[in-house]
Structure 1
């Protein structure tokens, strides 16, 4: 067990009286050599007939600061009360001054305009609430938001919120592949379809073949160009377009897959040869 030693000094009441403790101490600005100096004073308690005070003063003989406690009558009838509770010896604890930050409260309206707003840590629930608020705001203006199998949030038309694995963050991206509508469309018409000398399909408005479950396709462009996916579902969505669901092997995930409209699927993937 650790024993803590308290630094203290025992004063005789006559010595304190000679120094002017507790009522006739010199203020720091007015003190001369040999004076005891008042450093701090505050009322710390109130009893039925007396108030209790704490006084810190600097002793003139050793230059150290000491804290003592004394009593003072609350009414005229207690004017003659002994401040040291009739004790001949008074114990003073040796103390020192230190800096302390004190917290206080004010109205938000009283904050100065140039003062930076304090940081308040957010709870995990507040982040989920922000996500729900954003989705509700989109719904309120008629936006259709769906969730693909890989967790992508998308309207299946123009915009998506996708997970960037390299940057480890969510980003807004166009729903369609970067190749755009002005790029050559993949040929799915088979060998009977004519091609020019560059290999671009010239089948005009020929409809691409609808894949079947189990068909394997290869991603055309970055990111993840060359990734092989397997079609696991083909169906007609509520808005009438054909949708394709597919999956791929991802060693770091228990399951990896997604889904999109047929035309987007053909712009993004080509049949494995």
Structure 2
């Protein structure tokens, strides 16, 4: 720490209402302020001139980021950085300061869009969910036979966690919180139900052709499929530690996906057809 002779106190960084504001300590000789983790002494007039210029520059950038296409791009950039931060450190360990630094945006701008870290976490989950559901809906299931359509559906379901690995620890964290952030989005069924309906339609077509068992419970079957297919992502490390299975490498995940898809197809197949 730099020498602050003549100052009453050396600078400390603190937080006000969770916003992470900086405190600058005044003294007879100047202002104490942080520079790359240290504290230095600046004459008051120099400090306030620099501080005003920095504030005005930052405010101008923030105003630009709040307008038109810049607003959309800024929000997307913040969400991308937040997804990475939450994926590495979870909700409790993530820091808005890191998200601001990695997104190239100010903390003030982040708090303009999201009132709290919890709200930002909730939006990241919502963004992950919407992205995955769009991918699930994009496939041409109706052009395939029921068994091949179900196979494609299950592979696409599993692939979402291969495409977006940051979502794995985020969803694990959300489960620890009892799904509370997902429940905050009252329109969640509007996003997920179309995918469940696609699944139901595939099963119904298969029952009509006699290839699938009749009277299958759609939601239970959907939950079972998701749980089995994602085992390698959510439990792979633990299972691989005490079983002679590789559920963490690309090859191991590919092998598990092949096995799990076959298991589900066998479970719904009508043995009398």
TM-score w.r.t. length of structure 2: 0.24
| Structure with greater strand percent | 1
| Structure with greater helix percent | 2
TM-score w.r.t. length of structure 1: 0.24
- In terms of Rg, which structure is larger? 1
Relative contact order (alpha carbons < 8 A, sep ≥ 6): 1 or 2 greater?
A: 2
